[in-house]
Chains A and B, each alone.
Chain A
Amino acid sequence: MGHIRRLMGYSLRRKRLFLGFLASAAIGTIFNLLTPLVIVRIVDDVLDGGQLDLLLPYTMFYIGLGLLYAIFDVAGRYGAAISSQWVIYTLRGELYQSLMEKDLAFYDENETGQLLARVTTDVSTMREFLFWGYRVIFIGAVQLVGTYIVMWTVNPGLTYYILLLLPVIAVFIYSFARKVRPVFRAARNQYGVLSSVLAENVVGHKVVRTYASEDREAKRVEKENRGFLDLRVEASRLQSLFQPMLPAIFGLVTGFLIYIGGVSIINSALTLGEFVGFVSLVGMLMLPARFLSWGVGMYERAAAAGERTFYILDAVEEVMEPENPVEVPDFAGAVDFDNVHFSYRGDKEILRDISLHVKPGQVVALLGGTGSGKTSLVNLIPRFYDVDSNYTVKYNGEIRRVNEDGYVTIDGSKYKMTNGQVDIDGQSIKVQAPGTLCIDGVDVRLYSLNDLRKRIGIVHQDPFLFSASLRNNIAFGRPEASLEEVIEAAKAAMIHDFIVALEQGYDSEVGERGVTLSGGQKQRIAIARALLANPKILILDDSTSSVDARTEMLIQQALENLMKDRTTFVITHRLSTVRNADLIVMMERGRIVEMGSHDSLIAEEGLYHNIHQTLTEMELAASIAEGEPPKSAASNIRGGSSNE
């Protein structure tokens, strides 16, 4: 309901166009409704009354009405096309704007494909409604009422009988909607299931083969295929039942009309012309019946599509621009996490109690498995997400969140926070103030988002390049940069030589129609992009897929150039990078489990120590052949690892 009203709100922004096309459609319909009256006159005055001289004028009048109907109908359709297209155009613009403003939590929660469907397929569904739906419902209503009025003027007695049609039409539409739609929906869903089973079988055919599971998979496919067959046939059956039902109902009415009309003609209550007119008027009632059932379906689809699309416009921003942003010429690059907690929209905690202090120019290496929180941690710095702003209490070693209402819930019972502490079972526990993340001592939430993000550079492991020229891709963050600056950045990123070797050099297009870049090349373009933007703080997600030694060296060199004089957070698998970092942060399940320099962590003999040892073993084992450590040392190490 609300979604359609909202959609209508867009249409009404161009009120004259909207009302104009509706009016045009209505006027056209009225002309159409008048044509049976001409037929009545032709039959009664000319054919029955013998006034041949009236035949030509009447026929011309009949054609004239048809022409006017066509003209107004064309105008109505064209107006509707403009109006619907304009609404879609406006809506798409707003959606785009809105998508650009969304925080990353939004993109994490919604799959790319689904978002795309919401702004493409769903928008098209709404356009269908905007173009057809209004007119269909409106014309349907006008024609329904109009036909009865015209019937009334021709012969009120007969009109009473035809009025009986209304409930039949209503029942028809209702039962059709009730029975057919769920089956169609089920068939569509089943098609989705079938498609994904088939897709799995194709993509995973090697696995199916190696585990010799062909028969099992074939059975699965056949089952889903048969399920689809049954639903499809059932849907078609219902459709075959209902589709010819409407004309049949109207045919029945005509049969009925022969009887009633015949009786009326005998009683001289009806002329032959009126009878013929009624036959065609009854035919005209078919359109509203068809339109209304069609319109209802369209309305429902558009409402569902509207819900999905408006969801994007309505999604609440968590990350907000500060009212009075702090202005600084540039960052020095000190980053401080103090007791930071983080959870997506207040759900499960992703980061707990993170405290981390980084001086300008330091390199921090983050280690941890998937889900350890290392990516979330770096995403907080450019405010892709915001730090949780709840107070916390530490009770029995567990950290609990104090909700907005000032209560903390532990094992089902609620405790109130008073004067900065909570009394739990007689125990007074101090409340920890909400965590903060500061750059140069100022909370990140106080900088304007634009300034903040421009000063933080990010290089992803699988960098995203746009379908544009290489130059534009490198200058993405600073479109006004000169070619010299772009080249300089490319040189520092060790990609210049590659680019100039291309036929079109810096103007080469990236993407489907342009050059295909390897992972290593993409990464260096992204490094150049970051270099040109010249941020003070750098975030590197550097888990490159393996590349040949030369590329590896180039990337390493590029990264070193990039990291110079910047505070760097790096997620990496390169042992050398980790070893050389000023600070190694080992994370597990949202917590920092180990933190310190390489030497201090090795001395601690914790998880980092184990991992490091396993990898170093390999190094040693490999260097045996180079004759460095004696055989005994190698076997010792191997023995050590199997105890582990």
Chain B
Amino acid sequence: MSRSLDSADDPDARTYEYSDSELLARMVKYLFAYRKIFAAVVVLTAVSIVVGVWTPFVLRYAIDVDFVNGILGPIIFTALLYISLQIIGWIMNYGSGYLMALMGQRAIFDIRQELYSHVQEMSEEFHDHSSSGRIISRLTNDIDRMSELLGGDLINSFAQIFIVFAIGAAMFSADWRLALISLSIVPILLFTTIYFRRLLREAYRRTRKTISNVTSNLAESISGAKVTKSFARERISAEIFSELNEADYQSNVDAGKAQASFFPVIRFISGLGTAVILLFGGMLMLNPTLTPVVTLGTIVMFIQFSNSFFRPILIIANFYTSVQSAFAGGERVFSVLDSESVVQDEPDAKLMPEIKGQVHFNNVTFGYVEGLLVLENFNLEIHPGETVAIVGDTGAGKTTIVSLLNRFYDVLDGSIEIDGIDIRTVTQNSLHSRIGLVLQDPFLFMGTVKDNIRYGRQDATDNEILVALEAIGAKRIIENLEDGLDTEVGERGNRLSEGERQLVSFARALLANPKILILDEATSSVDIYTEYAIQKGMKALLENRTSIVIAHRLSTIVNADRIVVLENGKIVESGRHRDLMEQKGKYYSLYELQIKPRAFRTPTQK
């Protein structure tokens, strides 16, 4: 349990559900959707590699031929050739860079669209089992981590291999002895890089740990500032922080040594390459007995080659490390894409017509996991316009009933019918548009109060909104908000209080005016003042429609046309409050233990 949480916390952790080559192949598939662009990139990159290798030869020609001959015409020609190559190289690089980004970003766009619609189509089961934070990070960060790889790094890294071979071939074609000498530095370079990489990884791991301590202490201190202040304990907290802060300082300074040496050392080794070329090149050049003859231009050319040789090698050496993040992101994204929705529209699904609101659970059997049934041969008939309050202990199956009615899950056996129509024969979309759902924790979208109220009916007029608010008795509360109906609710409505959010969601449902309403009542209580408003709102909302309420509030329960008492997925009692109380059965004990204390503690009023 804790292990899976940890691995979820570390965004670079891999599950190896997919192998590296699978991931790579799959990512490349998205790029191949843009075949023409891909071909253009290959051509442009090839030209730019040729230009890059050709350039030092031009310089050699200038030194060895033009300068020796001392004629102006050819010098001007060589200079112009050199300049032209630079300009062509620039254009090629620009073109390939742009096209790679275009292709890569389109691929990212496609992946994101695909994942979004996939997530949207996934059944409730998926959402129930994954925290929304994780799904969001799949859609945002995880996809984004593939962005650089697809937008250039992948093709670029691949191109480096050709660059290395092209330079190598050019060197050997020019002078095999100097080529061998130049390449003698490569193993040293590789070993040093590997050595430092290990050192740095260790150092980073330590600093990551200390900085995360600092950050979490800061987070806690800021969130708990009120408590710290109210107990006047600032000094002690500051001492604890100071310790963590110091540890972070120390670990970073330690890491600083390896960090500071890495690049200068690599550069020094590459400088050694130049020195070796100068030394051996010079000896070869000044010893005319050795053929072929080495010229000054060749030495200069080799220095240039060796300078441009190291970067590709470093990029190739680091390729595996640098793509790990993208691979981890890809793995997380693809695993969601590959999961399948349990509930799917029938191929010949029809649209749900206008309904009266008659609901019938017909011998329904259902369980979330195999072998553990939540409902077994469950039967319930609700008449149009009836208000049914469902009560029962946690786990009795209350939420399951409404989830099934919404077809968030499919029944294992039996059927659910609305006005005699099996809900599996209609599209999910049309089914949902007939059923209103008011959730325990009302979710509001960013925007104004007004935007949110008209969410289900975009064409509603201001007047209709006001009428709806009036009907649920929330007009006074909403008008008391800073900007009334135009008040921004903030992210997920966090600028409103829970009670206010609740009322807005009531108004939203009322305006959408569904024939069937499902209401999952909040268990948390609000202050008396808001409770009063909510009770009034509820009455208006339930009127004239079939309503199924997972009820916690006494007022709702008492006012319901029928109370259905659930126990272990079975209806054990059903009737009105008064009758059920007289039976002194399950309902009576639920009432005494839960419903009553929630509504008011020990009534002491005479």
Contacts and interface: CB of A to CB of B under 8 A. Distances in A.
Interface residues of A, number: 163
Contacts, number: 463
B136 interface: yes
A266 B74 CA distance: 13
8 contacts: A52-B283, A102-B225, A263-B72, A265-B70, A453-B229, A460-B227, A575-B601, A619-B599
Contacts of A89: 245-246, 248-249
Interface string B234-267: 1011100110011011001101110111011101
A133 to B, nearest CB: 16
A200 interface: yes
Contact of B429 (A73, A212, A263, A626): A212
A46 B283 CA distance: 9
Contact of B222 (A112, A205, A556, A574): A112
Contact of A258 (B78, B96, B456, B531): B78
Given A93-B241, A573-B528, 7 more contacts: A47-B299, A244-B97, A245-B90, A252-B87, A369-B530, A545-B525, A622-B596
A97 B152 CA distance: 45
Contacts of A217: 120
Given A70-B265, A200-B446, A248-B86, A50 B286 contact: yes
Contacts of A256: 79, 83
Given A77-B259, A266-B72, A621-B558, A66 B283 contact: no
Chain B residues touching A, majority SS: helix
Interface stretch (B11-19, B58-66, B187-195, B372-380): B58-66
A262 B599 contact: no
Interface in A195-239: 195-196, 198-214, 216-218, 221-222, 225-226, 228-229, 232-233, 236-237, 239
A259 B75 contact: yes
Nearest to A241: B94
A199 B136 contact: yes
B260 A81 contact: yes
Given A198-B140, A254-B82, A575-B601, A97 B90 contact: no
Residue among A70, A202, A244, A477 with the highest chain B CB neighbour number at 10 A: A202
B585 interface: no
B98 A237 contact: yes
A479 B233 contact: yes
B231 A476 contact: yes
Contact of B437 (A200, A206, A479, A556): A206
Given A241-B94, A254-B82, A574 B601 contact: yes
Nearest to B249: A89
The 9 closest A-B pairs by CB, nearest first: A240-B97, A625-B581, A81-B256, A236-B101, A251-B86, A77-B260, A477-B231, A262-B75, A255-B83
Nearest to A379: B226
B555 A258 contact: no
B79 A576 contact: no
B577 A209 contact: no
Interface residues of B, number: 168
B265 to A, nearest CB: 6
A27 interface: no
Given A66-B275, A549-B594, A625-B578, A47 B296 contact: yes
A275 B275 contact: no
B139 interface: yes
Contacts of B267: 70, 73
Contacts of B96: 240
Contacts of A47: 282, 285-286, 296, 299
A228 B151 CA distance: 14
A429 interface: no
Contact of A104 (B226, B263, B535): B226
A548 interface: yes
B430 interface: yes
A615 B531 contact: yes
A42 B286 CA distance: 12
Given A78-B256, A89-B246, A624-B578, A55 B75 contact: no
Contacts of B321: none
B106 A42 contact: no
A35 B268 CA distance: 12
B60 to A, nearest CB: 11
A90 B70 CA distance: 64
A381 B75 CA distance: 88
A47 to B, nearest CB: 5
Nearest to A77: B260
Contacts of A464: 223-224, 226-227
A119 B603 CA distance: 50
Nearest to A580: B604
A414 B432 CA distance: 60
Contacts of A78: 256-257, 260-261
B512 A367 contact: no
A576 B602 contact: yes
Interface stretch (A6-14, A56-64, A164-172): A56-64
B89 interface: yes
Contacts of B75: 258-259, 262-263, 266
Given A46-B286, A255-B79, A543-B525, A203 B443 contact: yes
Interface in B48-83: 55, 59, 62-63, 66-67, 70, 72, 75-76, 78-80, 82-83
Interface string A7-25: 0000000000000000000
Contacts of A194: 140
Nearest to B403: A206
A116 B218 contact: yes
A531 interface: no
A453 B232 contact: yes
Interface in A426-454: 449-450, 453-454
A544 B525 contact: yes
A556 B249 CA distance: 48
Interface string B528-555: 1111110100000000000000001011
A209 B604 CA distance: 46
A62 B279 CA distance: 10
A142 B452 CA distance: 60
A643 interface: no
Nearest to B505: A207
Nearest to A245: B90
B208 interface: no
B231 A92 contact: no
B524 A545 contact: yes
Given A252-B87, A256-B79, A548-B594, A211 B97 contact: no
A615 B528 contact: yes
Contacts of A382: 229-230
A20 B230 CA distance: 46
Contacts of B231: 453-454, 476-477, 529, 533
A202 B118 CA distance: 12
B577 A251 contact: no
B456 A213 contact: yes
